[in-house]
Amino acid sequence: MVNELSMKGAKIINQDTHVSGHACQEDLKLIYSLIHPKFAIPVHGEYRHRIAQKELAEFMGVDKDNAVLVNSGDVVALDGETCEVIDHVTCGGILVDGLGVGDVGNIVLRDRQNLAQNGIIVVVLTLEKHSNQLLAGPDIVSRGFVYVRESEDLLEEAHSVVVNAVDDCMGRHVNDWGKIKNIIKDSLSDFLWKRMKRNPMILPIIMEV
**pLDDT per position as a tens digit, 124-156:** 988 887 777 778 878 888 888 877 777 788 888
Backbone angles phi, psi at 97, to 5 degrees: -130, 100
Q: Please report the pLDDT score of residue 143 as a whole number.
A: 84
What's the confidence (pLDDT) of residue 16?
A: 57
Architecture of 100-208 per CATH? Roll (3.10)
Measured over the CA atoms of residue 112, residue 116, residue 118 and residue 121, the dihedral's sign is: positive
Say how far apart CA 124 and CA 107 lie, in whole Å: 24
pLDDT band for position 18 (50/70/90)? low
Flag whether pLDDT at 175 surpasses 80: no
pLDDT at 43: 83
Q: Please give the C-alpha separations between residue 39 and each of 27, 54, 65, 68, in angstroms, as whole numbers.
A: 18, 10, 9, 8
pLDDT, average across residues 182-193:
89
Given pLDDT bands bounded at 50, 70 and 90, which one contains residue 174? confident
User: What single-letter amino acid sits at 125?
Assistant: L
- Read off the pLDDT of each residue in 160-177 and give the average, rounded to a whole number: 83
Q: Considering the entire predicted model, what is its pTM?
A: 0.51
Q: What is the pLDDT of residue 19?
A: 57
pLDDT tens digits along 36-45: 888 888 887 7
Is a pLDDT exceeding 80 seen at residue 29? yes
User: What's the rounded Cα separation, in Å, for the pair 57 and 119?
Assistant: 53
Domain spans of the chain? Answer: 2-88, 100-208
Higher pLDDT, 71 or 94: 71
